[in-house]
Copies of this chain bind each other. A is one copy, B any other.
């Protein structure tokens, strides 16, 4: 059940049965010479919708710009600052909690969002308790990273070994190929790819990773792989969501 394709009266009915909602969050950032800038949002959105169908959960519109400041030396990247993203999450949840939602399951497509999301959850819990909003003590948030699902990780290792890398990975590129086969990019990828550098600021990142990839070989990706990753993560995260909403 997609929130943006629902009416407010449908939401009202939904809330009588469930107080859970899935919030897809991605990023708009460079993914190497052949990866889509929207990769993280595309994956999070597609998988969230799959989980929503599987579990009958409400799915909110995708937060398609996240925390990607370290990628901003590459054109096309858009990032919120962490302090802004915290406010965005706080605003979203304040609205939704007032309406009756209490269980927030963020399906995340970007590692760089995790720290800020966790900070935002803490900030939001305290904010809601400060305002003494009804049910504020019941509010629970969880971030579920599809790319860290055990089954996904295992398949990526099997298919790509070390060439999975950690950014612009063949696994995430594969999912985008499965979702948008019309947008599969061809392009030269140097056989040498940087890896192993820590992440600091944007200028430093581009010096460390000149073409944007981090140890990955996205040329290995196929749409068929993408479907496999999609299926695995939908299955695993559906279970995760159901456990989450069931728990006290």
Output the least CB separation between A130 and chain B (Å): 5
A61's nearest neighbour on chain B, judged by CB, is B64
B residues less than 8 Å from A216 (CB atoms): none
- Chain copies in the assembled complex: 6
- Is A70's beta carbon under 8 Å from chain B? yes
A145: which B residues are within 8 A, CB to CB?
A: none
For the complex, is A171 an interface residue (Cβ under 8 Å from B)?
no
Contacts of A125 in B (CB 8 A): 69-70, 200-202, 204
How far does the Cβ of A100 sit from chain B's closest Cβ, in whole Å? 6
A138 CB, nearest partner CB in chain B, Å: 8
Indicate which residue in B41, B76, B247 contacts A8 across the interface (CB closer than 8 Å). Answer: B76
**Range for the number of chain A residues in contact with chain B:** 35 or more
- Which residues of chain A from 81 to 139 have a CB within 8 Å of any chain B CB? 81-84, 86-88, 91-92, 94-96, 98-100, 112, 114-123, 125-126, 128-132, 136-139
Q: Is the CB of B8 within 8 A of A122?
A: no
A139 to B92 CA separation, bound complex (whole angstroms): 23
Q: Is A239 an interface residue (CB 8 A)?
A: no
Contacts A4-B28, A6-B37, A198-B142 hold; do A75 and B61 have CB atoms under 8 A apart? no
Task: Report B-chain residues with C-beta under 8 Å of the C-beta of A78.
Answer: 3, 60-61, 91-92, 95-96
A and B contact pairs by CB, cutoff 8 A, 20 listed: A3-B28, A3-B37, A5-B36, A7-B33, A7-B37, A8-B212, A11-B76, A12-B75, A41-B61, A60-B78, A78-B91, A80-B87, A80-B88, A84-B84, A86-B119, A115-B117, A121-B200, A125-B200, A137-B203, A139-B201
